[in-house]
Amino acid sequence: MTVTEATAPVAAPKKQWLTATVREVIDDTARVRSLVLDVAGWPGHRAGQHVDVRLTAPDGYQAQRSYSIASAPAENTITLTVEMLPDGEVSSYLAGEVRVGDRFELRGPIGGYFVWTPELEGPLFLVAGGSGVVPLIAILRERALKKAAQPATLLFSSRSYEDIIYRSELENLAREAGGPTVVHTLTRTAPTDWAGQTRRIDAAMLGEVGFAPDLMPRIFVCGPTPLVENVARTLRDIGHAPKLIKTERFGPTGR
């Protein structure tokens, strides 16, 4: 078929690069930092979306990476949580060197698939591995601020107790009336008095802490690619509707 001018698709306008100024730096763990940003002209976002970050060196060299937004839309601010990775060009700066008042460029918000709004019906089952919890904390923060009634459970896999990102905040959210159920599993080391799970996420764990398939929960899974693929496959195997399982994954150079 010949595409005429009248039927040709119209490309969406490309998002512009905006200047972000660091307002606050929060050390979440020894390797993870949250950056609270002021971004002039920010159009707003939905929980689960991400941004592109671009750094420019004095000699003009540029490096770019994508980061999930940790703040809830209702907060009217932008927070990025960044894990420092070995030899990470961007993460080594954002998670190690950046200071209050520093500036860099970002573009967004990006993504319309891995998003949640309080208007969506059904329980929430969130599964995270490591820094994959970042877009999920945005969902939980939005749920709390909007006082959404949907029941929610977070299953969070971390390497050790010290590596649990947002540990205190998650404890506080879980204690609130109507707060989410938060279940941790530690895969490498655990304190001697640890009462939680101590293995990788498997079918038994998903069935024990998650919602029954007949409740039609909305499921969001984020983390390293092997974890995400295994969890999504297992959820389908135990009867969850594939159309309700949303996944986001990252590789060793993706954060």
CATH code assigned at 191:
3.40.50.80
- CB count within 10 Å of CB 153 equals 17
- DSSP at 215: G
Q: Are residues 94 and 174 in the same domain?
A: no
Is pLDDT above 60 for 4? no
Q: Are residues 42 and 137 in the same domain?
A: no
Q: Are residues 94 and 145 in the same domain?
A: no
Residue 66 lies in a domain: yes
Residue 24 lies in a domain: yes
Q: Are residues 106 and 131 in the same domain?
A: no
Q: Are residues 129 and 231 in the same domain?
A: yes
Q: Are residues 239 and 136 in the same domain?
A: yes
CA–CA distance, 53 with 63 (Å, rounded to integer): 8
110, 133, 152: which is the final residue of a domain?
110
Q: Are residues 58 and 138 in the same domain?
A: no
Residue 118 lies in a domain: no
67, 88, 110: which is the final residue of a domain?
110
Residue 191 lies in a domain: yes
Residue 115 lies in a domain: no
Across the range 222-248, mean pLDDT stands at 96
CATH code (residue 30) = 2.40.30.10
- At residue 137, φ and ψ (nearest 5 deg) are -70, -30
Q: Are residues 58 and 167 in the same domain?
A: no
Domain that holds residue 67: 18-110
Range with the largest mean pLDDT of 75-79, 160-164, 247-251: 160-164
Is residue 235 within 8 Å of residue 219, measured between CB atoms?
A: yes
Residue 153 lies in a domain: yes
- Taking only the tens place, the pLDDT of each residue in 124-141 is 999 999 999 999 999 999
Share of the chain above pLDDT 70, in %: 93
Residue 137 lies in a domain: yes
Residue 7 lies in a domain: no
Is residue 27 within 8 Å of residue 33, measured between CB atoms?
A: yes
Query: What is the Cα gyration radius of the chain?
Result: 19
Q: Are residues 162 and 59 in the same domain?
A: no
Q: Are residues 128 and 244 in the same domain?
A: yes
110, 132, 154: which is the final residue of a domain?
110
Q: Are residues 223 and 194 in the same domain?
A: yes
Q: How many domains does the chain have?
A: 2
Q: Is 167 left (phi over 0), alpha (psi -120 to 50) or beta?
A: alpha
Q: Are residues 64 and 153 in the same domain?
A: no
- Taking only the tens place, the pLDDT of each residue in 22-74 is 999 999 999 999 999 999 999 999 999 999 999 999 999 999 999 999 999 99
